[in-house]
Every structure is written in structure tokens, then in C-alpha cells.
Amino acid sequence: MAAPAAPSLLLLLAGAAGLSRAFFSLPLRVSQPASPRASPPAPLPLRPGSAGGGQRDAQDEAGGLALASDPAGSLNFLAMVENLQGDSGRGYYLEMLIGTPPQALNILVDTGSSNFAVAGVPDPDVTSYFNTELSSTYKSQGIEVTVKYSQGSWTGVLGTDVITIPKGIDGSYTINIATILESENFFLPGVKWHGILGLAYDTLAKPSSSVETFFDSLVRQAKIPNIFSLQMCGAGLPVSGSGTNGGSLVLGGIEPSLYKGNIWYTPIKEEWYYQVEILKLEVGGQNLELDCREYNADKAIVDSGTTLLRLPQKVFSAVVQAIARTSLIQEFSSGFWSGSQLACWDKTERPWSLFPKLSIYMRDENSSRSFRISILPQLYIQPILGIGENLQCYRFGISSSTNALVIGATVMEGFYVIFDRAQRRVGFAVSPCAEVDGSPVSEIEGPFTTTDVASNCVSSITFHEPVLWIASYALMSLCGIILLILIILLLIPPRCQHRYTDNDVVNDESSLVRHRWK
């Protein structure tokens, strides 16, 4: 039977490329300073919460995980509920007080980087900045840091100061901070945050992994469990809205009111990004039938600082073809899939019924089993702006990537995500706020057998940044030696002299750290 035509696909905005770029794209890898010179405040005594609505096994006890709220204690997860604001288009941010006396700033929550950086001078695109001269507890490390990305750059200075989180854990803590003094295409128009909080591992920290990350500092000083969890509540809402959508960052444990059903855990494959193992993808219940290594090329990560679900090019092409084949829209402009065009419908219509469900299979902690997280079209066909009184326009919340599969905000808005660093695993549970018009837009199901996939879908060689540096310099040195020999052979006997020019200087930055994208 032929599929019916789309009810009313009214127009495609070819000129919406600029609008599609309005959502943030932050490849931050700020450098962290050396260990604070000042002595940290006395550790705040914290005790794990009671088991509440969850079960605690022997591993949990050994890891010291707090699995539920403890309103009577110092670690009160309920106080952290709805401590985030923002949206998937411009990011979710947390209010933080920095320095003495405290200066209030909004800080973007990013699980795909490992450094804490704030605006240190006025900027046209930020409403506030951290004035180090007004803080009696700020101490500069005197180390300048420049970070360049394909979509922006900044230069800053490393230092330390005390921070408190009004809707976080109690107490003040000495933290490494990079103050951004110059930037280009980093702070974007309309953003309501003034810095970024990298929550990944110290392997990604700059200039050295020996410096302590923000969360590691909290774990050490506040004695909280080495776990945090994140809920982002922007499902079905405009991706560049008022910035008042809610969310929660729970430091030190899991808050039962932020999820329903069971938590499904997948192992962290490597502790740099939160790298996981993807086994397969389904569109409308149909397996893409790709080699599972395609999904993990060259890695698959969970990154709250990336706005979209990003897929390796081969996977992206297969997903687009499957969605186009499965949807009720017979013809659709390629510009919509590439992100350069928006699709608009009458405001009285809901286009989501025209598109299929997307499922991602992950390996369970028991390697012979898997589970799947599924997002309905309400999460990846995203409202972005209205035109006049009658039209609502949408963007495609999936894009291609050259070097990774990235589970970004498009997917994470459907789930409560637990970053259990103590037990080296990432957990997913259905989020109660992932609803549109009263209906859930995300699902978790399992377990499933893994007999139909390879025993290991992740390359055994992981090119972490230090390895990349060594490899790149070794290759450049080898090429230099070979080039030198060739020059000598060419110039002898006619000429034994070579006048060097700027073109001979090798400065191949592209072979250095190239693992941030967003």
C-alpha cells in the first residue's frame, strides 16, 4: 500500500541556514592550572543518602555511592532538583558563585570536556563576567592558555578561587579556573551562560592531565561519592527559547524523583570522554544492518555539551535514508537533512506523526546482554521558531560527524543519565519530564541477547591525545629526516647550501588535538 502524502508540509526555509547555526557548538578544551596554592577549605562531612527508592548492592557500598536523597543530611539531592536552566539549542547552565565576595555566573554543563572556564573580561555576547580584581581569594597561576577550534577560539589565564553552588552541595571549595580574556566565536549571541563546566575525565584537561578537574576537586574536598547525574527537560520545546526550561545536575548521587522505571547501565570503555559501546541502530524497528564497528568509529560518547545526535557519516547516511523511506513524507529537501533548511507546518498540526522512532542499542554490564534507548520524533524533529501567526518551523536534530558518534542533547533530553565514575559506567533511565502533550517521548527496553553482534565493537587501539601528539611528532620527525636526505642528495654536488624560508617551518596543528567538535 502506498504511504499517504504529508498532510501539509507548507514550506522549506532555504534561508534558514543562519537560524540553524543559532544553536551552540562548543568544542571547549580549556586548560587547567596546577594544583591550587591555597589550602583547600576543611572538608565538609557528608554521608551517603539512604537507599530510598533504589537498591544498594555490595558494589555500591564499596564505591560509597549515594543512591537516594537524604534531606536530613548534608548531601541533599532534592535541593539540586531543577537547578539548571536552558535549552538544547543554547545549552543547560548552572548558577555558581565565584570568588570573595561571591560573583554570580551561569555556567554551561558539559560532559564532553574537562575544564572549568569563565569569561574574565566584558564581551559583547555575555551579560556578566568574573572580575578577578574584585575577589580577595583569587590567585593567578600566571599561565596563559590558548584554545583553538574549528568554530571558535579563546585565550585565557589559569588561576584558582573558591566557588559555591547555591543549588548544589553545601560549602565552598577551591577550584582551578581559567579566565577567558579573548575569544572568537566562542560566546554566541543570545546565550545566557558566562562559562563552561567540563565534567569529563582529567585525560582531556589542558595543559596537562595532572591538574585537577572541577568534579575531582569536589570529590576530594567535599568527600562526596564519585558520581553525578543529569536531567535536561527541553523535550518538544523550542530549541532556542527563553532559556527557562528546567533541568537538574545532581552532584554525588542519584535522585529517584528524576526517573521512572529501571536504570540500565553500560560500561565506560575509556575514561577520557564518557566513551560507551554502541551495538546497533534501528529506525522504525528496522535494523540498519551495519557492522557494529561503524557506530563506534572512532568512538561513541555521551556529551551534554553537544546539541544534536551526531553520527559517523556512513551511519548518518543510512539513518537519513531509513527515515526518509519510513516516514510519510515522500519527497523531502536534502537541505533539511543537512541542517541548512527548516521545515514548516501549520501550528495546528504536529508533524511528529510522520516520522519513525529511533533506537540505539548499548552493551549491558553483562556483556552477553544489551538494552536499547529509543527516542520518538518529538526529540529529533525539533521546533525552532514560528513564522507569523500560523507557521511553526522545525530542524532535524541529527547531524553527521567526521570522528565520532555523539549522544548529545537530542537524545539526553529523553533520559535521566547517571555518570557513575566510581563503577566506570553510564546509566540511563526514562525521564518523567520527557513528555510532549502528556505522552512519553523516550523508552528503555531490555535485556536483549548480543549473539547477533561482535564481542567487541570498539577498536582495541584508542588514540588518546598524548598518543596523537607522540605519533604526530614522530611522523613529522621522520618526514623531516627523509626530506633532509632528499635535499642533500639534490643539492650535492651542485650546491651544498640551502636558504630556509617560512615555508620550511612545520607547524601542523591539524595533527595535534582534534577530538573536540560539537
Gap between the Cα atoms of 235 and 397, Å rounded? 12
What Cα–Cα distance (Å) separates residue 37 from each residue in 135, 172, 174, 206, 308? 16, 16, 10, 18, 39
What are the angstrom distances between the C-alpha of 468 and each of 151, 280, 393, 472, 514? Answer: 21, 28, 42, 6, 9
352 φ/ψ angles, rounded to the nearest 5 degrees = -60, -30
> What length is written for the chain?
518
d(CA 116, CA 217): 11
- Here the cell at position 158 is 589559569
Nearest to 469 by CA among 183, 207, 210: 207
C-alpha cell read off for 469: 601528539
Q: How many CB atoms lie within 10 A of CB 357?
A: 18
CB environment 360-384: b (16+ within 10 A), e (fewer): bbbbbeeeeebbbbbbbbbbbbbbb
- Is 303 annotated as catalytic? yes
Beta strands 369-375 and 442-449 are antiparallel
Closest by alpha carbon to 215, among 203, 229, 226?
Answer: 226
Q: What angle do CA 28, 237, 362 make, to 5 degrees?
A: 60
**Measured distance CA(34)–CA(15) in Å, rounded:** 47
Give me the catalytic one of 161, 303, 364, 420.
303
Q: Which residues lie closer than 8 Å to 504 by C-beta, 6 or more apart?
A: none
Write out the three cell numbers for 172. Answer: 565552598
The answer to whether 517 touches 404, Cβ cutoff 8 Å, is yes
- How far apart CA 499 and CA 501 sit, in angstroms, is 7
123 as an active site residue: the answer is no
CA distance 100 to 77: 26
CA 247 to chain centre: 15
- Which of the following is catalytic: 60, 70, 87, 110? 110
**Could you tell me where the beta strands, DSSP code E, fall in 364-455?**
369-375, 381-387, 391-396, 398-401, 405-407, 415-420, 425-430, 435-436, 439-440, 442-449
Task: Report how far residue 363's alpha carbon sits from residue 278's, in angstroms, rounded to the nearest whole number.
Answer: 7
Query: What cell does 417 get?
Result: 543519565
Which residues are annotated as catalytic? 110, 303
